[in-house]
Each structure stands twice: as structure tokens, then as C-alpha cells.
């Protein structure tokens, strides 16, 4: 266990309420440098809310959040370290891919003279070379997702925060993108990605936090999760369902 | 200020991007600019004449100008008080998650709003200024108008930031005080003299400057208010506005319209009756079910609320009276109804078209829509005109059927959803023309054979309905092979 400043992302007791609905109820989350961390949970568990709080799009109601060792309160500089992929990455339709990537690069602090090289770099990573001069409205959903991913990486962030990054992407392109993620963490970066796809989380992530109804059920490597769930050789799906049932029982008992 | 240029350029390209690839969009935009240029000529004429008479009230050019400036400021500020700081989905996804300071964002937003206002109001102002200058009736006031636009946007942004950072205790009294001051031109319209109190509202001071009748106290007020506004702006633009940024800016490209729909729905929920009205799907045949569904859709999606701005335009800005009044009202409601259908239901059309009886959907859609528009228009007509309004039932019915049918037909057959501005503009024009075409025969009958108007109307209205039903259903049903 390191100190909180040693983590790429450190979240403690995170609370978020939408009116009367408590979306997050004291979530704890730790992502180390050089680690691909999955946030796995069913629809409505609080995954997207957590990510939006981390990138400064939502105000939290309680808890502590540090990103790259910095507090995120009333501060924007930490965003320079982050690459963010939203859940439904809408893109400006009448911009060409090259223009859009260039704009995002400039917004995230890439100097003018370096923009061309960065566009070339991310387009080779995500196979966008052929569509750089194409208007975004003509692209398929899969290509749009790749453009959004490229925009998350274009300023060479240290942390990637990705909401369902592999949605709408064909298996071949997924293979390439997973390689990019692995390379990113092997170079010391950290990735926090949300998903509700158990297979993806099991195969791709180094560590996983299981989230259910706004609280973390368990966190760790697959072996650590097995230990917590009390299954020896179980897959992530069985672990998750068992832990969810237990949490459901507890919550039902509390209600009773 | 490092990001202002990049942000402004991104917004402009995002909003006007369709002009790069679509000739239709370009033509529509040129049409709007041209029409505003013509309207501006009218404004210039009124200013040059020194005023005009409206509903029996004599309005001087100074009051006209201050009213115009007040209207723009109140409109922008009200929008900000409702929505906070606005942004597009691109802003939320990519700008708010970047290390861009709020001040950069607000300043670029101010420049963008100024550019947008200039696209729509600029040609009118230019034309009005040229006219007054050419006839030697006043100094060119374009520069003052342009300067005032920055002031109006700045005021609205101050309200927007206060709303965004949830400072309600400051926002509510400040906005009420602002409204009290900025509604003073309305008092002057009805002949109430305000004396020195009028310098509390910047539109009055700017109007004085525009007509060259400025007083020392006005200059003092102007200086003081601009200093206070600048200080507030500098202080507030440091606050974090990125939390809960809403996609309030709907571009001309196809982006989500859901926030607007959600607002109408939220307000509609306040009407308790609507919570208890449910569609009984076990009781009716497919046509009746579709018709009832359309009536409910209109109620629940808040068509009445969405049509209020169009109605206000009809009632106050275009003072139409007599036979044209209910027709314009029905057209206003039809525009809101079809626009909301475009966003709320058209994307789900595939589910209705799976039915082997898809034609019933179209019959119910047009009949339900027309029935809703007719009922509401008649009610407003009776409230405004009294029982005399009953004479106009055939006109209201014809306009309701034709305008909604025309709008739906355009949306089904031609609107591609790539450019919202072009789609909305062409759709509204077509609805107006359809309404006009449908009421001309009735007018001819009334002029030449008045006794036949009521007996002939029902079969005529049925024919109009069938024509639009056939147009709407045939093409779409043929396309999907039913």
C-alpha cells in the first residue's frame, strides 16, 4: 500500500446524489501507475458518474478525489494529464477528422508546430490514415469511436479515463486498440476504463473494481477477487454475480 | 486567453460547417440573411420617420430602439437563467475535460454569440443603418448596436454563471431587479414617463446615444454600469462552470435535441391531469389508437409550451387580425407539433413501420395532429375574439390539417436530418404554403357563394386530409415494401 499521492487515481468515500437518488454511496477506488484498471458493473451502477466526476464534468457531494496526486477541486491544470473518452462521444459532424483532432490537440496544450506530428501518430495507432480528410458525418459508428479514442490520446496524457472504449468497434480493430492500451500502461501510464462486458474486463484489465448500486463490492486482481468471493477457479462472471447477490441480500436485509 | 481563438474557430466550424458541404444549407442561410436585410430596411424606415403607431400607441424611434435592445437582453438573460452556461455536446465532451480556463471559455462563447447574433440580426441592423444614413435621418447607429450586443451577452453570461454555480440567493433578486429596469421601455410605450429613472436600464442610455439626445446623467450611469458589469464578469469568470454543463446549444448539424424536449416534458408534468391519462391499448382499433397516441404525444411532449414563442410573435410582433389570426395561431402550434415530432418520434418510426397496418399509423398521425392543433387554435381564437371566432372554424380546420400534413410530409420524404437549420426553415415555409393553399378555396367560396361555406367545408376538409394522408403514407410504405 503506497501513500495516496502515489496513485494515478485515488478516490475515497465518493458520494454523488441526483436529487433524492444516491448514485454513488461511498465508493473507494485506487488506480496505480502502469495499471489498466477496469470498473465493472451493471447498467446504472455508477460507472459513468464516477468517470465524469474524475474529469470534472460533475460535482461530487462527498469524498476525496486525487488525480495524478492533485486535488481536482476548482482546478483545471490536472486535466492536461488526462485523456477522456465519453460514453457517447458525439463529434462535430461537419469537421474533417484531421481538423477535429487538431482542435482537441490545441485545447489540450499541444503547441501549434507539434499538431501535425501528433495527428499522424494517433491516426497510425487507430488506423485513421485513410479518413483524415473525411467529414465526420460520413463515418461509421466504429470509425467515430476510433476518432474519439485518438482524440483522448493526442496530447500524450499520463492517465486515460475511458467510458466503454470498445463499444461499436469490430474485433479486428479491437485487437489493435487493446495493443495500444497495453503499450500505454507498459510505458508507465494508467488507464481506468468502465465496462459492463465481463469478458473484456477479465482478459484486458490488470485489476478490477466491481461496482454495484454506487458502492464498490470488491477490488483487486482476478485472483484477489476470487479469494474475496470464496471461489477457487471461478471466472469473473461467477465472482461478480456471487458478490452482487450477497450485496443484494445485505441490502434487502437492511431494508427489512 | 490562450484558447479563445481555437475555441471560437471550433464553434464556428461546428455550427456553420454544413455550409461547406450542402448547397441547400447555403441557400437557406442566404435566404435568411436577405430577408433580415429587407426587414432591417423597415426598421430604418421607421427610425427615419421618427417613430410609428402600433395598436393605437405612438412609439418614438428612441423607445423603439430601446425596446429592441431590451428585448434582446431579456431574451438572452432569461435563457441563461433557465439553463446556466450553455454549450454544445462537443464542448462538454472535449472542452470541459481539457485544461481550458472558464474565462477563455466564456470569452470565446461571447464572441461566438456575437457572431451568431450578427448572422441573424446583423443584416437587419446594417440595412437599417444604411437607410437612415442615406435619407439623412440620423447618425449611423450600427456601431452602437454592435457594441451593445457585447453588453447584452455579457449580462446574460453573468446570470448564466450564477445559475451554473448555483448561487440562487444572488441570482433571484438580481434577475428581478434587472427585469424591473429592462422592462421600462415597455412602460414608455404605454406613455408612462419615467424621468431620470430610465437611465437605470442600459438600453435606454444606448437608445439616447443612437438618436443623439444623450444627457450627462446617462453618461454617468453608463460608465458606472459598465464598470460594475466588467468587475462582476472578471470575478465570476474565474469560477468553475464546467460542472453539470448542459448541451443547450443546438447546432445546425444533427445533435441531440433531448435537453429541450426534457424541459418541455418537465413543465408538462406539472399538469396533474396528464399523469392520469393513459393510452388504453386493449380497447381501440389501430386508427383510433394511432390518433389517440398522437393526441397524447402532443400533450406530453409539451407542444403547447413550445408553441408559445411562435404565438407571442403572432400576437405582438405581427399584429394580424381578423381571419388571418386563428390561421396564424394554428400554424404556430403546427410548427411546434411537427418540430417536436421530428425529434421525439421520427427516429422511432421504424417501430411503427414494422406493423402490417402501417397506413393506420399515418392516418392517425395526421388526424390526431390536426385535431389537436384545431382544438387548441379554436380555444385561443374564442378566448381572443369571442364567439365571433366560430365563423372561422372551416379556416382553422383547413389550416390545421394542411400545415401539419405538409410538415410531416416534408419530414418523411425530404428531411435528411443533416442540417437542422435548413430542415426547420424549409419545413416551416412548406407548412405556411400548405396552410395558405388549403384556405384559398374556402375564401373563394365565402366571397362568391357565402351560403355554401359551411355545407361544403366537411367534404372539402376530408379531401384535404386524404390528400396529405395519401402523400405521407404512400411513399414511405412503398419504400419499405408494405
| Confidence check: pLDDT of B468 > 80 | yes
What is the average pLDDT across B52-64?
72
Instruction: Examine residue B251 and state whether it is found in any structural domain, yes or no.
Output: no
Mean pLDDT is lowest, of A17-21, A59-63, B223-227, B472-476, for B472-476
- Do B151 and B269 belong to one domain? no
Q: What's phi and psi for B326, nearest 5 deg?
A: -65, -30
Distance between CA atoms of residues B136 and B153, nearest Å? 31
What is the average pLDDT across A145-153?
94
Give residue-wise pLDDT tens across range B7-21: 999 888 888 887 887
Instruction: Examine residue B244 and state whether it is found in any structural domain, yes or no.
Output: no
More confident: B249 or A75: A75
Per-residue model confidence (pLDDT) at position B308: 75
Q: What is the nearest CA distance from B266 to chain A, expressed in angstroms?
A: 14
* One-character DSSP codes across chain A: ---GGGSSEEEEEEEEEETTEEEEEEEEEEE-TT-EEEEE--TTSSHHHHHHHHTTSS--SEEEEEETTEE-TT--GGGGGEEEE-SS----TTSBHHHHHHHHHHHTT--GGGHHHHHHHHHHHHT-GGGTTSBGGGS-HHHHHHHHHHHHHTT--SEEEEESTTTT--HHHHHHHHHHHHHHHHTT-EEEEEES-HHHHHHH-SEEEEEETTEEEEEE-HHHHHHHHT-SS--HHHHHHHHHHHHHHHHHHHH-
Instruction: Examine residue B340 and state whether it is found in any structural domain, yes or no.
Output: yes
Q: What is the nearest CA distance from A152 to chain B, expressed in angstroms?
A: 9
Distance between CA atoms of residues A97 and A116, nearest Å? 12
Instruction: Examine residue B241 and state whether it is found in any structural domain, yes or no.
Output: no
Using pLDDT thresholds of 50, 70 and 90, give the confidence band for residue B320: low
- Do B264 and B349 belong to one domain? yes
Mean pLDDT is lowest, of A8-12, B61-65, B161-165, B273-277, for B273-277
Instruction: Examine residue B161 and state whether it is found in any structural domain, yes or no.
Output: yes
Distance between CA atoms of residues B446 and B232, nearest Å? 61
The grid coordinates listed for A53 are 466526476
Give residue-wise pLDDT tens across range B417-445: 667 777 888 888 899 999 999 999 999 99
| Confidence check: pLDDT of B258 > 60 | no
**Which of A59, A76, A107 is facing B244, going by the closest CB pair?**
A59
The grid coordinates listed for B327 are 390561421
Q: What is the nearest CA distance from B116 to chain A, expressed in angstroms?
A: 17
Give residue-wise pLDDT tens across range B333-361: 998 888 888 877 887 787 777 766 778 88
Size of interface A-B (CB pairs under 8 A): 98
**Which of A74, A82, A99 is facing B97, going by the closest CB pair?**
A82
Instruction: Examine residue B93 and state whether it is found in any structural domain, yes or no.
Output: yes
**Which of B6, B20, B102 is facing A107, going by the closest CB pair?**
B6
Q: Domain tally for chain B?
A: 2
Instruction: Examine residue B443 and state whether it is found in any structural domain, yes or no.
Output: yes
Using pLDDT thresholds of 50, 70 and 90, give the confidence band for residue A26: very high
**Which of A82, A91, A94 is facing B18, going by the closest CB pair?**
A94
Nearest chain B residue to A76 by CA: give it: B99
- Do B210 and B263 belong to one domain? no
- Do B200 and B317 belong to one domain? no
Nearest chain A residue to B103 by CA: give it: A76
Give residue-wise pLDDT tens across range B271-314: 555 656 677 777 788 888 888 888 888 877 777 777 777 677 66
What is the average pLDDT across B369-394?
88
H or E element, residue A17: strand A9-18
Distance between CA atoms of residues B57 and B59, nearest Å? 6
Distance between CA atoms of residues B116 and B86, nearest Å? 14
Mutate to test the interface with B, among A92, A98, A139, A154 (most CBs of B within 10 A): A92
Angle at A244 between CA A242 and CA A247, to 5 degrees: 110
Distance between CA atoms of residues B370 and B358, nearest Å? 19
| Confidence check: pLDDT of B57 > 70 | no
- Do B267 and B229 belong to one domain? no
| Confidence check: pLDDT of A217 > 70 | yes
Interface check B1 vs A, CB under 8 A: no
Nearest chain B residue to A57 by CA: give it: B243
Rounded to the nearest integer, the mean pLDDT of chain A is 89
| Confidence check: pLDDT of B136 > 80 | no
Per-residue model confidence (pLDDT) at position B92: 87
Contacts of A148 in chain B (CB under 8 A): 93
- Do B98 and B214 belong to one domain? yes
User: What ipTM was predicted for this assembly?
Assistant: 0.82
Mean pLDDT is lowest, of A183-192, B262-271, B329-338, for B262-271
Which residues of chain A have a Cβ shorter than 8 Å from any chain B Cβ?
55-59, 74, 76-80, 82, 84, 86, 89-95, 99, 103-104, 106-109, 135, 137, 148, 151
Interface check B101 vs A, CB under 8 A: yes
> What is the residue range of B370's domain?
258-479
| Confidence check: pLDDT of A118 > 90 | yes
- Do B62 and B203 belong to one domain? yes
| Confidence check: pLDDT of A251 > 70 | no
- Do B323 and B446 belong to one domain? yes
Those residues with Cβ within 8 angstroms of residue A3's Cβ, 6 or more apart along the chain or in another chain: none
Mutate to test the interface with A, among B97, B166, B241 (most CBs of A within 10 A): B97
Give residue-wise pLDDT tens across range B74-115: 989 988 998 888 788 888 889 999 999 999 999 999 999 999
- Do B265 and B322 belong to one domain? yes
Per-residue model confidence (pLDDT) at position A255: 54
- Determine, for residues A95 and B254 on separate chains, whether the beta-carbon distance falls below 8 Å: no
Per-residue model confidence (pLDDT) at position B481: 45
| Confidence check: pLDDT of A64 > 90 | yes
Enter the DSSP assignment of A20: T
Give residue-wise pLDDT tens across range B202-253: 999 998 888 888 889 999 999 999 999 999 999 999 898 998 887 766 554 4
Orientation angle between helical segments B324-344 and B393-413, nearest 10 degrees: 30
Distance between CA atoms of residues B279 and B290, nearest Å? 10
Pairing label, strands A9-18, A62-67: antiparallel
Distance between CA atoms of residues B125 and B44, nearest Å? 8
Last residue of a domain, one of B206, B236, B266: B236
Q: What is the nearest CA distance from B90 to chain A, expressed in angstroms?
A: 6
Are the beta carbons of B70 and B157 closer than 8 angstroms? Answer: no
**Strand order in A36-40's β-sheet?**
A82-85, A159-163, A190-195, A36-40, A207-212, A215-220
Contacts of B20 in chain A (CB under 8 A): 94
Q: How many residues does chain A have?
A: 256
Distance between CA atoms of residues B203 and B194, nearest Å? 14
Per-residue model confidence (pLDDT) at position B22: 77
Using pLDDT thresholds of 50, 70 and 90, give the confidence band for residue A256: very low
| Confidence check: pLDDT of B116 > 70 | yes
Give residue-wise pLDDT tens across range B183-200: 888 888 777 787 888 889
| Confidence check: pLDDT of B321 > 80 | no
Distance between CA atoms of residues A220 and B345, nearest Å? 45
Per-residue model confidence (pLDDT) at position B252: 47
Instruction: Examine residue B86 and state whether it is found in any structural domain, yes or no.
Output: yes
CB atoms within 10 A of CB B379: 12
Most confident of B123-137, B267-281, B292-306, B460-474: B460-474
Say what the pTM is: 0.79
**Which of B6, B17, B102 is facing A103, going by the closest CB pair?**
B6
For chain A, percent of residues with pLDDT exceeding 70: 96
- Do B182 and B323 belong to one domain? no
Angle at B436 between CA B293 and CA B349, to 5 degrees: 30
Q: What is the nearest CA distance from B373 to chain A, expressed in angstroms?
A: 34
Rounded to the nearest integer, the mean pLDDT of chain B is 82
What is the average pLDDT across A166-194?
92
Are the beta carbons of B415 and B427 closer than 8 angstroms? Answer: yes
Per-residue model confidence (pLDDT) at position B256: 42
Are the beta carbons of B382 and B389 closer than 8 angstroms? Answer: yes
Distance between CA atoms of residues A141 and B398, nearest Å? 43
- Do B262 and B399 belong to one domain? yes
- Do B72 and B11 belong to one domain? yes
Amino acid at each position: 500500500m503506497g501513500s495516496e499521492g502515489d496513485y494515478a487515481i485515488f478516490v475515497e468515500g465518493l458520494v454523488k446524489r441526483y436529487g433524492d437518488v444516491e448514485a454513488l454511496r461511498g465508493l473507494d477506488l485506487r488506480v496505480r501507475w502502469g495499471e489498466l484498471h477496469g470498473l465493472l458493473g451493471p447498467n446504472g451502477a455508477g460507472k459513468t458518474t464516477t468517470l465524469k466526476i474524475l474529469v470534472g464534468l460533475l460535482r461530487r457531494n462527498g469524498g476525496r478525489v486525487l488525480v495524478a496526486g492533485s486535488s481536482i477541486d476548482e482546478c483545471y491544470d490536472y486535466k492536461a494529464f488526462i485523456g477522456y473518452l465519453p460514453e457517447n462521444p458525439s463529434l462535430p459532424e461537419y469537421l474533417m477528422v484531421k481538423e477535429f483532432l487538431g482542435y482537441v490537440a490545441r485545447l489540450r496544450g499541444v503547441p501549434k508546430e507539434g499538431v501535425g506530428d501528433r495527428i499522424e501518430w494517433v491516426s497510425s495507432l487507430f488506423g485513421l490514415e485513410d479518413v483524415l480528410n473525411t467529414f465526420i458525418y460520413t463515418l461509421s459508428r466504429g470509425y467515430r469511436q476510433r476518432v474519439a479514442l485518438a482524440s483522448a490520446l493526442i496530447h500524450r496524457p499520463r492517465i486515460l479515463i475511458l467510458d466503454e472504449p470498445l463499444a461499436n468497434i469490430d474485433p479486428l480493430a479491437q485487437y489493435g486498440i487493446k495493443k495500444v492500451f497495453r503499450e500505454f500502461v507498459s510505458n508507465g501510464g494508467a488507464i481506468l476504463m468502465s465496462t459492463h462486458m465481463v469478458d473484456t474486463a477479465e482478459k484486458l484489465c490488470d485489476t478490477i473494481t466491481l461496482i454495484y448500486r454506487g458502492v464498490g463490492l470488491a477490488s483487486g486482481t482476478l485472483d484477489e477477487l476470487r479469494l474475496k468471493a470464496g471461489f477457487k477457479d471461478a471466472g469473473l462472471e461467477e465472482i461478480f454475480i456471487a458478490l452482487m447477490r450477497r450485496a443484494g441480500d445485505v441490502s434487502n436485509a437492511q431494508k427489512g | 486567453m490562450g484558447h479563445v481563438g481555437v475555441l471560437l474557430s471550433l464553434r464556428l466550424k461546428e455550427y456553420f460547417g454544413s455550409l461547406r458541404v450542402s448547397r441547400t444549407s447555403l441557400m437557406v442561410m442566404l435566404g435568411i440573411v436577405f430577408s433580415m436585410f429587407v426587414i432591417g430596411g423597415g426598421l430604418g424606415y421607421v427610425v427615419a420617420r421618427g417613430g410609428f403607431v402600433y395598436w393605437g400607441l405612438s412609439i418614438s424611434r428612441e423607445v423603439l430602439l430601446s425596446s429592441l435592445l431590451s428585448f434582446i437582453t431579456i431574451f438572452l438573460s432569461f435563457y441563461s437563467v433557465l439553463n446556466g452556461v450553455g454549450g454544445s455536446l462537443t464542448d462538454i465532451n472535449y472542452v470541459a475535460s481539457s485544461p481550458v480556463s472558464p474565462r477563455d471559455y466564456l470569452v470565446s462563447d461571447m464572441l461566438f454569440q456575437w457572431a451568431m447574433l450578427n448572422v441573424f440580426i446583423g443584416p437587419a441592423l446594417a440595412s437599417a443603418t444604411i437607410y437612415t444614413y442615406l435619407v439623412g435621418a440620423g447618425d449611423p447607429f450600427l456601431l452602437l448596436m454592435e457594441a451593445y450586443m457585447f453588453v447584452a451577452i455579457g449580462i446574460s453570461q453573468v446570470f448564466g454563471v450564477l445559475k451554473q454555480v448555483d448561487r440562487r440567493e444572488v441570482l433571484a433578486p438580481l434577475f428581478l431587479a434587472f427585469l424591473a429596469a429592462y422592462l421600462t421601455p415597455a412602460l414608455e410605450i404605454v406613455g408612462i414617463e419615467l424621468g431620470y429613472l430610465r437611465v437605470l436600464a442600459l438600453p435606454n442610455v444606448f437608445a439616447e446615444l443612437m438618436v443623439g439626445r444623450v444627457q450627462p446623467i446617462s453618461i454617468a450611469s453608463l460608465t458606472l454600469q459598465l464598470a460594475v458589469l466588467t468587475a462582476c464578469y472578471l470575478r465570476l469568470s474565474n469560477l468553475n462552470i464546467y460542472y453539470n454543463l448542459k448541451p443547450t446549444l443546438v447546432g445546425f448539424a444533427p445533435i441531440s435535441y433531448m435537453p429541450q424536449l426534457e424541459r418541455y416534458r418537465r413543465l408538462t408534468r406539472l399538469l396533474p391531469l396528464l399523469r392520469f391519462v393513459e393510452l388504453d391499448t386493449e380497447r381501440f382499433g389501430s386508427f383510433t389508437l394511432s390518433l389517440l397516441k398522437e393526441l397524447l404525444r402532443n400533450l406530453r411532449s409539451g407542444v403547447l409550451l413550445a408553441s408559445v414563442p411562435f404565438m407571442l410573435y403572432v400576437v405582438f410582433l405581427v399584429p394580424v387580425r381578423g381571419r388571418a389570426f386563428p390561421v396564424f395561431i394554428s400554424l404556430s402550434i403546427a410548427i411546434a407539433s411537427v418540430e417536436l415530432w421530428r425529434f421525439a418520434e421520427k427516429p422511432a418510426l421504424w417501430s411503427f413501420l414494422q406493423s402490417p397496418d402501417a397506413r393506420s399509423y399515418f392516418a392517425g398521425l395526421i388526424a390526431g395532429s390536426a385535431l389537436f392543433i384545431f382544438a387548441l387554435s379554436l380555444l385561443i381564437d374564442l378566448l381572443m375574439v369571442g364567439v365571433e371566432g366560430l365563423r372561422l372554424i372551416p379556416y382553422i380546420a383547413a389550416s390545421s390539417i394542411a400545415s401539419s400534413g405538409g410538415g410531416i410530409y416534408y419530414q418523411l420524404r425530404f428531411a435528411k436530418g443533416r442540417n437542422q437549420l435548413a430542415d426547420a426553415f424549409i419545413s416551416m415555409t412548406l407548412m405556411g404554403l400548405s396552410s395558405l393553399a388549403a384556405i384559398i378555396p374556402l375564401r373563394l367560396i365565402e366571397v362568391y357563394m357565402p351560403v355554401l361555406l359551411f355545407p361544403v367545408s366537411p367534404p372539402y376538409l376530408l379531401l384535404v386530409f386524404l390528400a396529405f394522408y395519401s402523400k405521407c403514407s404512400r411513399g414511405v410504405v412503398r419504400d419499405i415494401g408494405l
